[in-house]
Amino acid sequence: MEQTITARQACVNALNFFEENNRTNTELLNKLEGQDRQQANEYYQGILRRKSYLDFLISKYSAVGVEEMNPQFKNILRIGLYDMLFMDGTPDYAAVNEAVELAKAMGGSKSGDLMNAILRRLQRDMPNLPKPDFKDRTKLIATTFSHPEWLVKRWVDRFGEREAFRLMQFNNQHPYYYLRVNGLKTNDRNFSLRLEKADVEFEESDWLPGYYRVNSLQKVRSKGWFQKGLCQVQDVSAGFAPTILDPQPGEEVYDLCAAPGTKTIMLCDLMENKGSIHAIDIDGDRIGSIAENVTNYGADIVKIQRADIIQERFRLVDAVLLDAPCSGTGVLSKRADLRWRRSESDLDEFTRQQDELLDAAANMVKRGGRLVYATCSIEPEENMERIEHFLSVYDNFELEDLDEYLPEEVLSDDGKSYQTIPHIHECDGHFGVLLRRKV
């Protein structure tokens, strides 16, 4: 029989995995059910959202430096401290006990004693814990807001300190989630009635139809609505790219870079499940999720293909969506792990790849056809600068106005691109443009 583990244990395992492999293993968190699963994810993302600050405090109370500490012990310590500082429902004594028991179980009684000593001292000083006191301003801000120094420097230079603080504070909040209704299986009215009946607090978006902002996904998950394909989790700003592509029933559409398929199923919805969508992705592991999503949502116009779109040739179609791989700096509140996985040099790699992908995508569009380029980044190099570069090479494409599709507050002054910035628009940060190939 498989041994059952607690949310805290699962989180320690996931944090250990992250430190070793520099990536998230969602299976370690999601093998739990119900509330435990939610709690494990909450710990994991929450601790990564506050990592530098937690480590700063740990360094003040431990004789062993954070870098030299046994990773498992360090991650249990982070959970105990996170519990005391940020988990409202856990009394301090319970947070300490849980961490001590976990340390004993995972590392023996000496480990439990040491855990107890460090956390008790932190608990005692709780109202007056030390504040980061580094002379180096970037390091001070980075530690206070738990963001990497390179990103702090970049955002302070670009936005100024005050705005950068607001952005990082937003990234450190518990995120909002949006549900998008699957129009192939239900409708907005029916779905909002379901939400009311299930006692889910929600707010309907006034930006796009069929989006509902909720504070927690737990009730929706327990109702089985995701498995039934009634709705999906998709930030409203992620819905902008399929919206501006405006795919029509009967058209032939490429969804390049499609996995895990959240935009593919929205395209099916917009096309009323008529026409054809080729969902293409290079990643064999991620491609299975497209099929799962499509089946769940009751769509049958999707052909899934594993391919490198830069290497392979495709015939021309009416509309192409290129949801490019990017740094993901627009989604750091939901994907706190990304802030520690990325480095500044990754940006050069992403922009090079984005140019190649745009080049490939442009050669799949019929005359008069449309190409949408989108990212979940807020970095200009991955966004408008890529499009400016593209247009300097491809004078047979032009930018289209977006004001008939999207609210004014997310559009650039000339109305030809959208960009959401998390703390300003209170959603994820997404960018996109609609390019038309001249006839």
Ligand X SMILES: C[S@@+](CC[C@H](N)C(=O)[O-])C[C@H]1O[C@@H](n2cnc3c(N)ncnc32)[C@H](O)[C@@H]1O
Check binding of 341 to ligand X (CB under 6 A): no
**Sole binder of ligand X in the list 210, 229, 247, 261 (CB under 6 A):** 261
Stretch that binds ligand X, among 26-34, 219-227, 281-289, 385-393 (CB under 6 A): 281-289
Check binding of 304 to ligand X (CB under 6 A): no
Does 318 appear as a known binding residue? no
Pick out residues in 219-258 that bind ligand X (CB under 6 A): 257-258
For the CB of residue 267, give the shortest distance to ligand X in the complex, in Å.
10
The question of whether 257 is a catalytic residue gets the answer no
Check binding of 263 to ligand X (CB under 6 A): yes
Check binding of 349 to ligand X (CB under 6 A): no
For the CB of residue 263, give the shortest distance to ligand X in the complex, in Å.
4
**Sole binder of ligand X in the list 14, 208, 259, 410 (CB under 6 A):** 259
For the CB of residue 396, give the shortest distance to ligand X in the complex, in Å.
23
Check binding of 355 to ligand X (CB under 6 A): no
Distance CA 328, CA 23 (A): 14
**Sole binder of ligand X in the list 281, 382, 400, 428 (CB under 6 A):** 281
For the CB of residue 310, give the shortest distance to ligand X in the complex, in Å.
5
Q: Which is nearer to ligand X, 259 or 270 (CB)?
A: 259
Q: Which is nearer to ligand X, 28 or 279 (CB)?
A: 279
Check binding of 331 to ligand X (CB under 6 A): no
Does 359 appear as a known binding residue? no
Check binding of 310 to ligand X (CB under 6 A): yes
Check binding of 94 to ligand X (CB under 6 A): no
- DSSP lists the bridge partners of residue 214 as 177, 202
Active site residues: 376
Binding residues for S-adenosyl-L-methionine: 281, 323
Binding residues: 281, 323
